[in-house]
Chains A and B, each alone.
Chain A
Amino acid sequence: MALLFRSTLIQLLTKTTRPMLMTMASTGRRNMSSHSKETDEEFDQRWKAYFERPNIDGWDIRQGINHMNRLDLIPEPEIISACLQACRRVNDHSLAVRYLEAIRYKSNAVSKEVWPWILQEIRPTLNQLGVSAPEDLGYDKPELALKSVDDM
C-alpha cells in the first residue's frame, strides 16, 4: 500500500486515534480499530483537492485513478469533474475517456440506472471541456475484435 501512495496521502490516512477506554460521557465516536474513520464529505474533499492541484501531472492522475478504482465505491460527480479538469491541464483526452469508461463499467456492475445519472451530472463539465463520453465515440459496444491476451 505504501508503494502506491504519495507520502502526503500516507500521512492523511494513517492518523491514529487512541481508543478511549474510560469515559464518563463519550464525546465522539470511539474507534475499535486504530484507523480513523473519515466522513464521506472529508473523503470527497480529499480527492477533489488531490485532483484540483494546478500543477498535477499525468503520473499522479493515473495513480489517483488506479487507486480510486480499487476502492469499493463509485466517485462522486464532483471528483469526476475535478479529474477531468486535471486531464485537461495535462492535455490528455484519451485518459479522460478511459476514466469515464472505467466508471461506466463499474456502475453497470451495480445497476443500469447509475451511469445515465452520472453522465447527466457531469454533462456540464463534458460540454465545457469538450470531452467525449464513451458513447459518443462508439465505445459502448466493442469496436475491434482483437485476440485476448490470455490466448496468446
Chain B
Amino acid sequence: MNNLLLRHVKLTHPQVTSMLQYQCRLNASTTTTTTAGSKSVIQQSPIVLDNTKPPPPLDADRMRMHPRIGNREIVGYGLKGKPEYFDLVMFPCPSIRWEADTSEIAELRKKEKGDWKQLSTEDKKRLYRASFRQTFEEFTAPSGIWKWTMGWTLIALAGLILAYDGWRRVAYPFETPDSFGEEKLKKQLQYHIAARQGPMTGLSAKWDYETGTWKK
C-alpha cells in the first residue's frame, strides 16, 4: 500500500478518503510516526520550481514532494487533505508552509528548538513569514473596492443618461412652427400687453400705458 501513492489516483469514494488522509499524513513531515529520517528538504537555491533545468532524478525523497508545491514542508490537513496553501479566516492553519526551507530558515528552526525568549523579534517575524504569507490583519484589511464600484457606477449612469438624451435629440427633431417667427412673436407680445398679463410685477408692469412705450 505504501508503494502505491494514493495521491496519484483520483479517488472520490468516501471509504478510501480516510486512506488518502492516512497517506497524506505519512507524507507529511511533522508526524512522529514517519520512519523516514529527514523531515524537510533544505534547498540551496531560492527558486523553488525551475523548469529550465532538467528534472531531478526520481528518488524516494523527490517522490514525496508534490510537483505543485515544490520543496515546501507539509504540516497539516488543511481544508480537504490536499497540500495547498491558503489564508482564510475560518481556517487559520494551512496544510503547507509558505516558503521552502532554505539554509537560513533551517538555522532559525534550530534556534526555535531552544528557548523562545532567545529569539529576537526579527527572527520571529522571519519565521512567521516563512510559514505564512499574510497576517490576519493583512488579508482581512479593507480593499477599498467600494470606491471604484461607486465611481464607475455613477460614471456609467451619467453616460447612459447622456446617451439617452443624445438619442432623443437625433431621433425626434423639432421643426419650429411658424409662431416662432419674429413678426408673430411681436404680435404675441402686443396681445399680452393689451390683455394686461403680469400687471403687478411682470410684463405689463413694465409697459407705460399712457405713452404707449416701455417704462423708463
Contacts and interface: CB of A to CB of B under 8 A. Distances in A.
B3 interface: no
A28 interface: no
A73 B3 CA distance: 43
B43 interface: no
B135 A134 contact: yes
A144 B139 CA distance: 10
Interface string A83-106: 000001011111101110110110
A61 to B, nearest CB: 8
Interface in B1-49: 17-18, 21, 25, 28, 30-32
A70 B90 CA distance: 6
B125 A137 contact: yes
Q: Which of B18, B116, B118, B134 has the most CB of A within 10 A?
A: B116
A92 B24 CA distance: 20
Contacts of A145: 138
A142 B135 contact: yes
B91 interface: yes
A118 interface: no
Range of interface residues on B (Cβ < 8 Å): 35 or more
A119 interface: no
A57 interface: yes
Interface stretch (B73-81, B151-159, B167-175, B200-208): B73-81
B130 A94 contact: yes
A7 B8 CA distance: 26
Interface residues of A, number: 45
A64 B167 CA distance: 64
B136 A101 contact: yes
Interface in B79-134: 81, 87, 89-93, 95, 109, 112-113, 115-119, 121, 124-125, 127-128, 130-134
A129 B115 CA distance: 8
A129 B116 contact: yes
Contact of A65 (B17, B28, B93, B119): B93
B77 A90 contact: no
A130 B128 contact: no
A126 B141 CA distance: 26
A144 to B, nearest CB: 6
B121 A149 contact: no
Contacts of B138: 142-146
Interface of A: 3-4, 55, 57-59, 61-63, 65-66, 69-70, 88, 90-95, 97-99, 101-102, 104-105, 129-132, 134, 136-146, 148-149
A-B pairs with lowest CB-CB distance, top 4: A130-B116, A62-B76, A58-B30, A130-B117
Given A59-B77, A90-B30, A130-B116, 4 more contacts: A57-B31, A69-B91, A99-B93, A138-B125
Interface of B: 17-18, 21, 25, 28, 30-32, 75-77, 81, 87, 89-93, 95, 109, 112-113, 115-119, 121, 124-125, 127-128, 130-141, 143
8 contacts: A4-B77, A59-B75, A62-B93, A66-B91, A132-B124, A134-B135, A143-B135, A146-B133
